[in-house]
């Protein structure tokens, strides 16, 4: 069957608006690494043309040959008619300026915690405080643990996931960034298989979508692993386990950075005696809180 998507663009400058225009003709959903049709078009063009994803005006006249145009048409057709997120079609995405390999065994990296890491978790961790050990729970692609290892070059980072296939993706990303000596990948159901160890920082971006939300999510989300999205009736089954167990694994001065997205209000309702400190996220996103060890110890079922 002939591909119904036909592009006429001959340069990068022509390709981005033409592809964005095509995307806008279909009921597609964004938010899995890119936010708009124009962003998605720019990323597809940069990938196929071999340009950096943040390419600038000097690249606008870069010429596209027939094979590049055909490649873009093929990807665009799959994106539109299968509703597969672009990151899965390309096999990679970027977060906080770093590239990560992805496939459908892991969520597409998009956590706002990435930008908190880049800021050194200021003001929650004094810049002079030595960070020796970090734990990244429910790691998926390994992106947050890897960004933490880059931000804290003296730290050892443990990343965990219950899914062996997700950890294979994470291991590939660890190798991509040359961090095999400082990042340990562990198969673990939250804390269950972890050895006794105290951490300066625990990062957790667990599944937090209520099971009931499965039917209302856009088709693009059906390509992501269900166990990485959904967590019980209120979406908080895993998040609560993370909070309840954190005090056993945090250093006395350590902190838990927990993302629960749209479930933030439900988490607060579940523990009315505790005032959660929700972060103002400069680059978008919602539902990220910071908890000390004492706070985690005081939050009970």
What CATH number does the domain containing 79 carry? Answer: 1.10.8
Residues 19 and 127 in one domain: no
Residues 82 and 216 in one domain: no
Say if 95 falls within a structural domain: no
Residues 201 and 269 in one domain: yes
Residues 36 and 141 in one domain: no
Residues 132 and 50 in one domain: no
Say if 241 falls within a structural domain: yes
Say if 105 falls within a structural domain: no
Given this model, what pLDDT does residue 294 score? 94
What CATH number does the domain containing 160 carry? Answer: 3.40.50.150
- The residue range of the domain holding 288 is 110-298
Task: Report residue 76's pLDDT band, with 50, 70 and 90 as the boundaries.
Answer: very high
Residues 18 and 158 in one domain: no
3-state secondary structure 19-64: HHHHHCCCCCCCCCCCCCHHHHHHHHHHHHHCCCCCCCHHHCCCEC
Is the distance from CB of 202 to CB of 254 less than 8 angstroms?
A: yes
The encoded tokens of residue 106 equal: 């892991």
Distance CA 148, CA 25 (A): 39
Q: What is the mean pLDDT of the segment spanning 291-300?
A: 92
CA distances from 83 to 10, 133, 150, 173, 249 (A): 26, 40, 33, 25, 41
Residues 70 and 162 in one domain: no
The encoded tokens of residue 82 equal: 């299968």
Residues 124 and 45 in one domain: no
- Write the pLDDT tens digit of every residue in 181-227: 999 999 999 999 999 899 999 999 999 998 988 888 999 999 999 99
Say if 164 falls within a structural domain: yes
Is the distance from CB of 257 to CB of 203 less than 8 angstroms?
A: yes
Say whether pLDDT at 127 is over 70: no
Q: What is the mean pLDDT of the segment spanning 117-134?
A: 84
């Amino acid at each position: 069957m002939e591909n119904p998507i036909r592009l006429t663009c001959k340069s990068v400058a022509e390709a981005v608006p033409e592809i964005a225009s095509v995307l806008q003709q279909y009921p597609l959903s964004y938010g899995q690494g890119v936010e708009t049709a124009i962003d998605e078009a720019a990323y597809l063009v940069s990938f196929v043309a071999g340009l950096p994803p943040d390419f600038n005006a000097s690249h606008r006249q870069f010429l596209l040959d027939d094979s590049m145009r055909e490649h873009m048409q093929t990807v665009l057709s799959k994106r539109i008619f299968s509703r597969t997120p672009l990151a899965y079609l390309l096999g990679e995405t970027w977060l906080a300026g770093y590239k990560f390999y992805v496939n459908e065994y892991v969520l597409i990296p998009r956590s706002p915690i990435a930008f908190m890491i880049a800021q050194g978790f200021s003001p929650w961790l004094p810049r002079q405080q030595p960070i020796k050990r970090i734990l990244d729970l429910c790691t998926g692609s390994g992106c947050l643990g890897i960004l933490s290892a880059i931000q804290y070059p003296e730290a050892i980072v443990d990343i965990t996931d219950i899914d062996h296939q997700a950890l294979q993706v994470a291991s590939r990303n660890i190798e991509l960034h040359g961090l095999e000596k400082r990042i340990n990948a562990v198969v673990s159901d939250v804390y269950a298989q972890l050895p006794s160890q105290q951490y300066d920082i625990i990062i957790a971006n667990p599944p937090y979508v209520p099971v009931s939300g499965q039917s209302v999510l856009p088709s693009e989300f059906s390509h992501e692993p269900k166990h990485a999205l959904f967590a019980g009736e209120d979406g908080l089954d895993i998040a609560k386990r993370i909070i309840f167990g954190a005090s056993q694994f945090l250093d006395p001065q350590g902190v838990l950075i927990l993302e629960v997205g749209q479930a933030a209000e439900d988490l607060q309702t579940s523990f009315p005696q505790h005032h959660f400190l929700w972060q103002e996220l400069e680059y978008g996103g919602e539902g990220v809180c910071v908890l000390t060890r004492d706070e985690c110890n005081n939050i009970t079922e």
